[in-house]
Amino acid sequence: MKKHILHLLLLANISTAFAQGNQNALNFDGSNDYVQTGYTGISGNNSRTVEAWIKTTVNSDPSTGAAQHVIVDWGTTATGGRFTLNILWGNTLRIEVGGSGINGKTVLNDGNWHHVAASYDPSATYKFCLYVDGVLDTSANNTTTVNTTSGNTLIIGKRVDNVNYFEGEIDEVRVWNHARTASQIADLFDKELCPNHSGLVAYFRLNQGTANANNSGKTTAVNSISSAANGSLINFGLSGSSSNWVSGSGITLAPDTTVIKDTTVCGGFVSPQGRTTLFTGSITDIYTSSNGCDSLLKYNVTVKQNSFIYQTITACDSFRTPKGQLKTSNEIFTEKYTNQAGCDSTVQTNLVITQTKRTANIASACSHYISPTGKTYTSSGSYNDTMISVAKCDSIITTNLVIYSTAQSVLFDSACSQYTGPRGFVYYKSGTYLDTLTTVNGCDSVVTIYLTILKPDTVTFKETACDSFVSLSGANTWLKSGFFSEKMSNQVMCDSIIQYDLTINYSNQSFVNYDECNPFNTPAGTSITSSGIYTEVLTNSLGCDSTVTVSATITKNKPIITKIGENLEVDLTDLSYQWLDCDNAYASIPSATSATYKPNKSGNYAVEVIENNCKDTSACLNYPSTANLQNIYLIKASIVPNPAQSTITIHNHLESFDYEILNHFGQVMLEDNGLTGNEISISELANGTYYIKVISASYTDYVKLIVQKP
């Protein structure tokens, strides 16, 4: 009872003992200060939580021209490749994943300390949650897939692409490998932690240095989880109240204590947590508080010796203990005595009682059998052997024995060139052989083999082929001349060597270009009617295929002329032209060598077009006199809008009129009658240039229309 009271008092002391130390933070100047850590960060689409305490008055709202201020970041700038905790729109908390992000609601630049946290759970209804001062601020889903890469280790105070430095103080940066719940964050956000929390994978207390003092040598931010992932202070002045170690957020410091108790015991000691020692030395119980810190209760134990003896005794049939107890079966029993040190000396005995017993055994052997006592038996039967056990007790073994004899067999066989016997021996000539095997009973089985060895034969063929030759077996294909061989089975099913004296002749290929004005036939008789690539297969002098690839270009310009307003126009562009007078035996018209020609008199006209040295002449087109054209154009109609999309309006001095809408080939696309100012639908027309022929009682007019739809 006294021991239990002592333990309770020690635990009470532990619960109230705290190791007080610095509760500092880092001030970032917003210009070039940052902490580069060795922690690689959580990658891919895995769950995570990142936390920090911050204090700032700087404006981070881009709607006012300010820049983002980054608290913690890692990853790369690929879409979805980084995880960035920062202050942005409306000076509220934001989490970005590279490409988009989630904004909070609480304004943070009021100059007070605030705890901020962001969690990500890919399986949750709302995958992102933002917390401010231990309370859920925002929960939402993001449009960009999270796929954090490992290109940059965790950075405190700037983004991974070296922009948006933080201005203000940062303290207590923590990273967890799971999405913390709201209650978990509320429980620990205002407490400094010890590093043994489950899932805490990076923890920067930022308690180094002396607040506002000269800290020129304090350039390491300690990672409480792994020193290999410590952070390095980059570009900090480390003097005064800016760009230096400063006073922290004032959260509760982590408790940590050790209580030592000396005790002397007999035999062994068991701590309140069940740790046991049988020897003099130290034993420690560990108590963990709600924020993950260890308190140690250390016992310096003196154990008096010779307090315990363990022995094993084997006896036949029965055993009497030193205190007179009679034992007749196996048992572990304990008897206590007082030793010279005044402690209990406990003797624990593992008693093994061996009884005289009979054992039945089934055995088999080839020819003879040797029993456990060394007797030899040569026939099947039931035999008894008496043995003495290690406990000097009789043990009678009854053996039911089966003796197997050696087996004999005969095998007649044949093979090609060589033969492998049942046991793996190889024979190269005919004869009689003996082979010894083992039966299913494990005894010898002698096989007499009467063996016949057969021989292969050889045949040679002289062959000629084009490009390749396939052997008679179909297993080989040869692509060049030479002497080759393969194996096949002859009439006695032995290998037959087939030899080939082989000559390979080769097919050839050629390429021919044709540039013609009309369809034509190739020398091989292929009819070419349009441009393209054609293949002809002939036979060369060696009797093999000769493949000719024909590249044919046939030019068929087939010009068509159309009357557009006062001009004649041909439908082919960027070629050579010569206009012809059809009424003067197709005589060439001097200087009429463009795609457009305006005759100076009525008549019939054609155009000759040269394309790729191929000439072709259009059909003749009748052209009205210039005098009449001039009369037509005395009065102009107008079209609005022009260019147009879906409707137009024709204005012609208030006269009623008929109209035709012509394409550039002179084909009528639309026709009707109308009045000045009425809308006309052109929704059926595709984008392009058209001509409207306006016919009224006093004139006929042509107006160009451009249809340009979005």
Residues 426-475 pLDDT 10s: 887 888 988 777 776 778 778 888 878 877 778 888 888 888 889 888 88
Per-residue pLDDT tens over the stretch 287-303: 766 555 666 677 888 88
Higher pLDDT, 241 or 364: 241
Q: Give span(s): CATH 2.60.40.1930, the chain.
A: 635-707
What dihedral angle (degrees, nearest 10) is formed by the CA atoms of 441, 442, 448, 450?
A: 90
How far apart CA 300 and CA 282 sit, in angstroms, is 5
Percentage of residues in the chain having pLDDT higher than 70? 90
pLDDT at residue 259, rounded to an integer: 63
Instruction: Look at phi and psi of residue 533 and say left if phi exceeds 0, alpha if psi is from -120 to 50, else beta.
Output: beta
pLDDT at residue 86, rounded to an integer: 97
Nearest Cα neighbor of 701 from 602, 629, 640 is 629
Phi and psi at residue 2, to the nearest 5°: -65, -35
CATH no. for 24-247: 2.60.120.200
Q: What is the mean pLDDT of residues 11-15?
A: 42
Question: How would residue 21 be classed by pLDDT, with cut points 50, 70 and 90?
Answer: very low
What residues contact residue 329 under an 8 Å CB cut-off, 6+ apart? Answer: 353
Q: What is the mean pLDDT of residues 360-366?
A: 82
pTM for the whole thing? Answer: 0.41
Per-residue pLDDT tens over the stretch 568-601: 988 777 788 898 888 887 888 988 888 898 898 8
How far apart CA 701 and CA 280 sit, in angstroms, is 124
Q: Please state which architecture CATH assigns to domain 561-627.
A: Sandwich (2.60)
pLDDT at residue 353, rounded to an integer: 82
pLDDT at residue 307, rounded to an integer: 60
Assigned CATH class of 635-707: mainly beta
Burial 223-240 (b: 16+ CB within 10 A, else e): bbbeeebbbebeebebee
Q: What is the mean pLDDT of residues 143-154?
A: 94
Per-residue pLDDT tens over the stretch 404-433: 877 777 888 777 777 787 878 888 788 898
